[in-house]
Amino acid sequence: MNTIAKQLEEDAAPMKEWFEHMHRNPELSMQEASTADYIAEQLRGFGAYDIVTGVGKHGIVATLKCGDGDKAIGLRADFDALPIQEQNNFPYKSTKEGISHLCGHDGHTAMLLGAARYLARTRNFNGTVRLIFQPGEETMEGGPAMIKDGLFERFPVDAVFGMHNIPGLEEGKFYFRPGEMMAAVDNWEVEIVGKGGHGGIPELTIDPVVAGASAVMAIQSIVSRNVAPAHRAVVTIGAFLAGNAGNVVANNAILRLSVRTTTPEDREMVLSNIRRIVAHQAESFGCTSQIREGVPGAVLVNDAGETEKAVRIAQAAFGEDQVIYPGPSFLASEDFAFMLQEKKGTYCFLGSGPGKMVHHPEYYFNENLLPVGAAYWVALTEGYLR
């Protein structure tokens, strides 16, 4: 363990307290008013930062300048939760029914707060560090909202950096990759409307469940039959909602889709095929349909030069054996991609070790990562702003 991480580990109690408080009190995307207030309260307690709240609704930017350096770095952490019922029994488990931190954003924020506290105390850098606490990552709203609210005009940076814990990757190791690292995402809701009625008199009904089931199967052929094997894409139908009783034909059915692609051409093709299939499948069963398109995501593309810098800094701080380069890419999505469209930078993964994958009801954030992640932010700040 490097010197910074060791010091942070010896002083990890506040990070655990912040993490557990946020875990007990999760808030959904773009509804994180109390979480934002809590983060700002901790930052004010450090007594060193210029703190601006309300950026892109609930976003926070905390700025610390040291010396006469003219370079600035942005470090970003997210803090929204998911609409999933937690199935863990920790003393600090979620107190809110159906809402929980099952992606580790509470841990991400605790790590950046830990780095903030350390940097305020040591100030071993020359330039400006801006800590970006972002709402609404899960819905792809928070990053664009902060950018629209003038994030990089009001708080200029030369480069911006992000990080995410990943279960299944070796605990405590950092994984970097230049270029494309995560996929674009489109979250859509499809409604198929039929004619409800009695389950024993189907001739007087138009069953949207049958139409929806047919659409689900047809949609699953899009990637396998239309996307080149050398490319990557996936369409997940994560929710199929219809009816409440076995003897009732529902009046409508809802499908919720997550579409992930890695090229603009594949994205356009996949979405076009979904529109076509939904319309024709619904019509073939005598139903009507409507598609509600969510906020589109973007492919996360790391700048090669900034990735190389981050790799060298991490290797110097943690040792070459703790840094995997190049690391893996995933078809998961991240709205940090929008920030990387505006500024150079890179996004890395921090291995969590064995455990359930993020978004699983039994996922848990590995608290051993708190000093490690905080140490990376400190090392990056000190290394970038020498």
Angle between helices 105-122 and 33-46 (to 10 degrees): 20
Distances in whole angstroms, Cα of residue 81 to Cα of each of 97, 119, 206, 247: 12, 27, 38, 36
Q: Which residues are catalytic?
A: 80, 137
What is the distance between the alpha carbons of residues 82 and 27, in angstroms, rounded to a whole number?
Answer: 8
Identify the bridge partners of residue 345 per DSSP, sorted by sequence position.
Answer: 160
Rounded-to-integer distance, Cα 198 and Cα 200, Å: 5
CA distance 372 to 8: 8
Closest-CA residue to 144 (of 336, 348, 344, 346): 336
CA 98 to chain CA mean position, Å: 19
* CA-atom Rg of the chain in angstroms: 23
Q: Would you tell me how many other CB atoms lie within 10 Å of the CB of residue 53?
A: 15
Name the nearest CA neighbour of 31 among 80, 82, 76. Answer: 80
60: part of which helix (H) or strand (E)? Answer: strand 59-66
Report the distance separating Cα 293 and Cα 5, nearest Å. 44
